[in-house]
């Protein structure tokens, strides 16, 4: 009986707290959070997460794809027998719908995909909330077309968040993933300079970082950094898994159906 009462109050609380309406394009865009079941996961929504919680795990993440190098990263991950997470954009370096095969391949090979917004804007600094919602829901529509589901994990562009971003992501039921190792590979996209990113990676790994950020849109990351990171993590005896797995979240919670 107590359990039933608890469950009932949780449902009522969920209904009351997470219903939200956003006017988009002059009309009211209803975000019906009552359809979303949050109870299967212990991972918080709308709060910054930057490290793994499962001991001994490590999460490689690659942002800003899909792009012409993404398949090469997938080949490399497969050859190494490790899993990673891709935070994908709708239209940045390439269009996600035109590259649906890459998205489906990543999932088929055991990787996780998450949202990185439609077109990679700065979300902080007073961006209109309707624009922020549209950045997420436009990409959700693309994911529905490509994989029939919507990711529940997102990464804010530039890792930039403020209270407004977190509130919106919470209302949209997204886990917000930052990073505890930032390779800054975009500053070092050169066969020599990329080793600066590797040294930064190693220092932050020494500092206890467990979620690392790199980009599958830079040639030196794909050709050099990714393998160097994998070799180093392996040397430390850590298991490379998806972000969801490193947070102890069951795979069925990594995606949801249409809103
Ligand atoms: Zn990015």
Residue 157 Cα to ligand 1 middle (Å): 5
pLDDT value of position 31: 54
pLDDT value of position 12: 35
CATH for the stretch 45-251: 3.20.20.370
Mean of per-residue pLDDT scores for the chain: 89
Contact yes or no for 61/155 (Cβ under 8 A): yes
**pLDDT tens, 51-89?**
999 999 999 999 999 999 999 999 999 999 999 999 999
pLDDT value of position 185: 97
CA distance 206 to 53: 17
pLDDT value of position 145: 97
Report the range of poorest mean pLDDT among 3-7, 45-49, 89-93, 209-213. 3-7
Mean pLDDT to the nearest integer, 225-252: 98
Dihedral of the alpha carbons of 36, 172, 179, 104, in degrees to the nearest 10? 60
Question: Catalytic residue positions?
Answer: 63, 215
Mean pLDDT to the nearest integer, 29-50: 76
- The answer on pLDDT for 7 being more than 50 is no
Residue 155 Cα to ligand 1 middle (Å): 8
Residue 18 Cα to ligand 1 middle (Å): 27
pLDDT value of position 33: 53
**Beta-bridge partner residues of 177:** 49
Give 34's pLDDT tier (boundaries 50, 70, 90): very low
Helix extents (H) in 100-128: 100-108
Residue 28 Cα to ligand 1 middle (Å): 29
CA distance 38 to 170: 11
Residue 248 Cα to ligand 1 middle (Å): 25
pLDDT value of position 229: 98
CA distance 11 to 34: 9
Contact yes or no for 159/213 (Cβ under 8 A): yes
Mean pLDDT to the nearest integer, 175-200: 98
pLDDT value of position 37: 66
Contact yes or no for 151/114 (Cβ under 8 A): yes
Contact yes or no for 169/176 (Cβ under 8 A): yes
Give 39's pLDDT tier (boundaries 50, 70, 90): confident
**pLDDT tens, 108-132?**
999 999 999 999 999 998 899 999 9
At residue 163, φ and ψ (nearest 5 deg) are -60, -35
State the greatest distance between any 2 C-alpha atoms of the chain, in Å, as a whole number.
65
- The answer on pLDDT for 20 being more than 90 is no
Residue 158 Cα to ligand 1 middle (Å): 6
**pLDDT tens, 97-108?**
999 999 999 999
Residues with C-beta atoms within 5 A of ion ligand 1: 63-64, 157
CA distance 167 to 46: 6
- The answer on pLDDT for 225 being more than 70 is yes
- The answer on pLDDT for 151 being more than 80 is yes
pLDDT value of position 172: 96
**Burial class of residue 259 (count of CB atoms within 10 Å of its CB; 0-12, 13-18, 19+):** middle
Would you kindly state where each structural domain of the chain is located, as residue ranges?
A: 45-251
CA distance 153 to 46: 10
């Amino acid at each position: 009986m107590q359990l039933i009462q608890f469950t009932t109050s949780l449902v009522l609380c969920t209904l009351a707290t997470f219903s939200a309406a956003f006017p988009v394009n002059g009309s009211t865009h209803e975000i019906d959070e009552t359809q979303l079941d949050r109870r299967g996961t212990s991972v918080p929504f709308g709060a910054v997460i930057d490290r793994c919680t499962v001991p001994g795990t490590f999460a490689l993440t690659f942002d800003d794809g899909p792009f012409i190098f993404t398949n090469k990263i997938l080949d490399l991950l497969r050859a190494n027998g490790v899993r990673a997470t891709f935070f994908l954009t709708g239209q940045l370096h390439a269009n996600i719908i035109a590259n649906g095969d890459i998205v489906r391949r990543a999932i088929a090979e055991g990787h996780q995909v998450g949202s990185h917004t439609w077109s990679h804007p700065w979300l902080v600094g007073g961006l209109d909330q309707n624009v922020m919602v549209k950045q997420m829901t436009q990409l959700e529509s693309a994911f529905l077309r490509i994989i029939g589901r919507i990711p529940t994990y997102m990464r804010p562009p530039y890792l930039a968040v403020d209270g407004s971003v977190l509130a919106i992501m919470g209302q949209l039921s997204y886990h917000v993933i930052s990073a505890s190792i930032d390779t800054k590979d975009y500053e070092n996209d050169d066969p020599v300079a990329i080793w600066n990113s590797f040294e930064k990676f190693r220092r932050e790994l020494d500092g206890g970082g467990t979620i690392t950020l790199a980009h599958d849109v830079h040639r030196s990351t794909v050709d050099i950094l990714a393998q160097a990171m994998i070799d180093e993590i392996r040397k430390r005896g850590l298991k490379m898994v998806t972000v969801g797995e490193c947070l102890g979240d069951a795979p069925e919670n990594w995606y949801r159906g249409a809103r």
